[in-house]
Amino acid sequence: MICVRTPLRIGLFGGGTDIPDFFLERGGKAIGFTIESYIYIQAVEAEINQGYKFRISYRKNEEVNSAEDITHPIFREVLKKYKFDNPYAFNTISNLPSGAGLGGSSSFTVGLLSLINKIKGLNKKNLDLAKQAINIERVILNEKGGWQDQLHAAFGGMNVFNFSKSGNISRTKLNPHPRVFDDLNNNMYLLYSGKMRVSHDIEASKIKTLNFGMLSELHDIANQAEDLLNKKDCTIQEIGKLLNDSWLIKRGLSNKVSDTEIDNIYNNILNSGAYGAKLCGAGGGGFFMVLASKSSAQRLQETLNKGQLKKMSIDLGGIKTFEL
Instruction: Tell me: do 190 and 207 sit in the same domain.
Output: yes
Which residue range forms the structural domain that includes residue 303?
178-313
Q: Return d(Cα 231, Cα 176) in angstroms, integer.
A: 7
Cβ contact 274:290 at 8 Å: yes
pLDDT at position 203: 60
Instruction: Tell me: do 162 and 26 sit in the same domain.
Output: yes
Count of domains for the chain = 2
Instruction: Tell me: do 166 and 247 sit in the same domain.
Output: no
Instruction: Tell me: do 213 and 241 sit in the same domain.
Output: yes
Q: Return d(Cα 306, Cα 106) in angstroms, integer.
A: 29
pLDDT at position 256: 80
Q: What is the CATH number of the domain that holds 143?
A: 3.30.230.10
Instruction: Tell me: do 182 and 288 sit in the same domain.
Output: yes
Instruction: Tell me: do 41 and 161 sit in the same domain.
Output: yes
Instruction: Tell me: do 133 and 145 sit in the same domain.
Output: yes
Amino acid in the structure at residue 288: F
Instruction: Tell me: do 141 and 115 sit in the same domain.
Output: yes
Instruction: Tell me: do 53 and 198 sit in the same domain.
Output: no
Instruction: Tell me: do 29 and 160 sit in the same domain.
Output: yes
Q: What is the CATH number of the domain that holds 279?
A: 3.30.70.890
Mean pLDDT (10-residue bins), the chain, 324 residues:
96 95 96 97 90 94 96 97 94 87 95 96 93 97 94 97 97 95 96 71 60 95 97 96 95 84 91 94 85 95 79 94 89
pLDDT at position 306: 57
Instruction: Tell me the pTM.
Output: 0.92
Cβ contact 18:30 at 8 Å: yes
Instruction: Tell me: do 170 and 214 sit in the same domain.
Output: no
Instruction: Tell me: do 128 and 199 sit in the same domain.
Output: no
First-to-last alpha carbon distance for the chain, in angstroms, is 5
pLDDT at position 209: 66
pLDDT at position 324: 82
pLDDT at position 305: 67
